[in-house]
Structure 1
Amino acid sequence: MVLSWRASLGRIVAQGLVSATAAPSPLDAVENLLAMQGQQASAIPWAIGVRCARVSRAQVSAAFDSGALVRSWPMRDTLHVTSVRDHHWLRRLLRHRYASWIRQSAGLGLSDALVENAAAAVFELLGENPSGVSRSEVIRAWDEAGIATVTSGAVGGVRRRHLVKRLFLDGVLVSGPLRGGEHLIVDARQLPGAPGVAKGEAGHEETLAVLAARYAWGHGPIGEADLARWTGLTVTEARRAIAQAREVGDSIGLPIAEFEGGLARSDLADLVEAHRDEAEAMLALPSFDELHVGYKDRSCLTDEAGEVLICPAKNGMFRPIAVARGRLVAVRGPGSDIVTAHGCGGYEELARRVFGDWERWLSEIQQ
């Protein structure tokens, strides 16, 4: 099935990319989406800022510095930004999807004992620096504790990324405050808890349905394949969650309904009708933006040729995109070159200006 342009406009509206649904703060923007891909740290402020009503880059940084927003691996083996309120329950709900990775990493030297020793070394360091520490400071603390780590392979020690990731998955560490473009690592043990939601616990199935309802509200229209891809759940798990999403959505104040063949917020049809002109206007979005990476079925946004424009090397590194009338019209290539999609040459200058607006926003001097 190829989703229509109307589904694309629905996603633009649901994600807060028009004034009627734009968030009043960075925290609200992230919570509307539940989780926002955060693989590329430099793209995160733009992804949040474009979904807010008149916020500065400094305000986005302040949301991390205050502890309202954090960055971790809650799902899909990819770094995401969540609110502090959503961090632990989402992490625990989906941790079972990392079970095979944890088993494999144990075979590469990442034993439970080593993980405990590594955590203790970081906690000691954080005791002296409670506002957060850099990755390089963590590695130095491990060296001093006799924990050998390497950047790749497993010869001479465990992989640093694997060890950091395991501590994040275990819920003892998370990253948040921004310093010099880096998210500092902080203690996650005192963040709001999440009892009873892990696989095998009493609240697991209902909380999966909450996840489905939140995803449909902030990303819809979506289907079970989109939910499975976004979270890393199996299609069977996603199907069960989708089946309960409407009932649970009503109970948490997020009514869900059908829209263009998928689930979405119940007022989406009216919102698209009322704000169609704004939804069709040009948007400049960063690499790894949720409007692109937040779905399995992206047919309403672009075609196969457009996917090649976004990721020409097929290496997982995506380019910033320009969208107009709900479709990809251009990408920003190396050196800020604008590369237009087939038949979209007339959008080149407008795309250049809109990308320039966000480059200036990103270059604001933070107080």
Structure 2
Amino acid sequence: MTAATRSRLSPGIIGRLRLAAQGLLGPGFSSVPDAVRGMTAMQAQDLPSVLWALGQRVPGSGAQDIRGALDRGEIVRSWPMRGTLHVLAPEDLGWVLGITSGRMVQSAAGRHRQLGIMAADVELCAEIALGLVAGGGAASREALFAAFEAAGQGTRSQRGIHLLWRLCQGRWLVPGPVAGQQQLFAAFDDWITGSRSLDREEGTAEWLLRYFRSHGPATERDFSWWSGIPLTETRAALARVSDRLTELKFGGTSYWLAPETAALLDHGVPGQRTVLALPGFDEFLLGYADRSLVLPPEHAEKIVPGGNGVFRKTIVAGGAVIGTWAAPAGGRRAGVVPEPFDAVNGLRPAAQKSFGLQAAKYRRYLGS
């Protein structure tokens, strides 16, 4: 990029480039599976939030369409990194876990000792679970816990959920179809039949490339935090793929992104007047170690009150977070209420109108 291009960069422009990379500006993605593959992985600790995150990126999609993609195994939800649920393409889960699970299991070892979870317990529970879901079946968490208890494996005090997490890390089980508000568990090899095989070096390089293409402009530290890959490994992977990315300098820091996204700088980055109602936990905010470019630090407490790890729904305008929103219980007919950071002046008339269109889109998504 030229010096002139660098001089045009600002936090708002970086935020809008990220919106474009994430399919939130322009035509979006053509299908739910394409969106998940394009995004590489998406935070999914809260199921309704990730459904709407995909609804915002796939024009015309509804909540039932996205739940259907989960039910059919076209996308998969598990714990691939940071000990947190994400959705990703089914063919990617196995090799990603091959990179991340060792470090995650090691980090959980102390807690597992406290809970009395030893290797023999994991192997016994794997045998029990696979017997319960044999032949392509699926079982609820409650059914699995009952089977564990019957075999003398306690499930109270979070021991049960840690056992299930460990079975998913070991690729014995995977969350499968949705039943009500929870997912049933299936055998990994029955539910995921087309896994790719990548070694650690090759996989890390691909993962990093896909992250910068889907989340850029972002930094190597952003990827390291997001993926859980150590910074030294991140830098080695970046060296392998940097020729397929564009580097931007801003504030003395290198940001990496897809050349196609960087090309938007040549003719003006769109989205200056775009208003979006994004879910809590959306990758636009959560997908980066440093969120200060798009969220003023003085308002961070309003997004995660008390630092409790629960991210509220956000209003994004011009590439920056300008408030939160709420949708009280009541389904399709419920009101969608904006809560701008500027409580005195509220949203400007044009932004208020745009937010109203977003609220209508959300109600259609719920009712489709």
Q: TM-score range by the shorter chain?
A: 0.7 to 0.9
Where in structure 2 are there 5+ consecutive unaligned residues?
A: 1-8, 329-335
Give the structure 1 partner of residue 3 of structure 2. Answer: none
Give the structure 2 partner of residue 156 of structure 1. Answer: none
2:246 to 248, 251, 257: 257
1:12/1:279 contact within 8 Å kept: no
Distance between the aligned counterparts of 1:178 and 1:358, measured in 2?
A: 24
Give the structure 1 partner of residue 347 of structure 2. Answer: 346
1:338 offset after TM fit, Å?
A: 2.8
2:174/2:186 contact within 8 Å kept: yes
Deviations 1:315-344 (A, max 9, x none): 001100010111111102584653212386
1:207 to 194, 203, 220: 203
CA gap of 1:279–1:3, structure 2 versus 1, over 3 A, is closer
1:270 offset after TM fit, Å?
A: 2.6
CA gap of 1:230–1:113, structure 2 versus 1, over 3 A, is same
Give the structure 1 partner of residue 212 of structure 2. Answer: 216
1:71/1:82 contact within 8 Å kept: yes
CA gap of 1:284–1:275, structure 2 versus 1, over 3 A, is farther
How do 1:315-330 and structure 2 match up within 5 A? Answer: 315-330=308-323
Where in structure 1 are there 5+ consecutive unaligned residues?
A: 153-158, 198-202, 248-254
2:285/2:291 contact within 8 Å kept: yes
Give the structure 1 partner of residue 275 of structure 2. Answer: 282
- Which deviates more from structure 2 when the two are superposed, residues 349-358 or residues 88-97? 349-358
Cα RMSD after superposing both structures: 2.4
For the residue of structure 2 that corresponds to 1:363, the secondary structure is helix
Please tell me the residue identity of whatever aligns with 2:346.
G
Give the structure 1 partner of residue 299 of structure 2. Answer: 306
Check if 1:235 corresponds to 2:231: yes
Give the structure 1 partner of residue 173 of structure 2. Answer: 173
Check if 1:7 corresponds to 2:8: no
Give the structure 2 partner of residue 155 of structure 1. Answer: none
1:355 offset after TM fit, Å?
A: 5.3
1:53 offset after TM fit, Å?
A: 2.6
- Which deviates more from structure 2 when the two are superposed, residues 102-111 or residues 343-352? 343-352
2:276/2:355 contact within 8 Å kept: no
CA gap of 1:358–1:39, structure 2 versus 1, over 3 A, is farther
Distance between the aligned counterparts of 2:33 and 2:314, measured in 1?
A: 24
Please tell me the residue identity of whatever aligns with 1:137.
A
Distance between the aligned counterparts of 1:357 and 1:82, measured in 2?
A: 28
Distance between the aligned counterparts of 2:302 and 2:137, measured in 1?
A: 41
Deviations 1:39-85 (A, max 9, x none): 11111210111111322222211211111111111111111111101
Distance between the aligned counterparts of 1:46 and 1:208, measured in 2?
A: 28
Check if 1:91 corresponds to 2:97: yes
CA gap of 1:305–1:361, structure 2 versus 1, over 3 A, is farther
2:364 to 339, 361, 364: 361
Deviations 1:252-294 (A, max 9, x none): xxx4212454111111133466684446400111010000000
Give the structure 1 partner of residue 55 of structure 2. Answer: 49
Distance between the aligned counterparts of 1:276 and 1:179, measured in 2?
A: 42
Distance between the aligned counterparts of 2:62 and 2:313, measured in 1?
A: 20
Percent of aligned pairs with the same amino acid: 29
Give the structure 2 partner of residue 268 of structure 1. Answer: 261
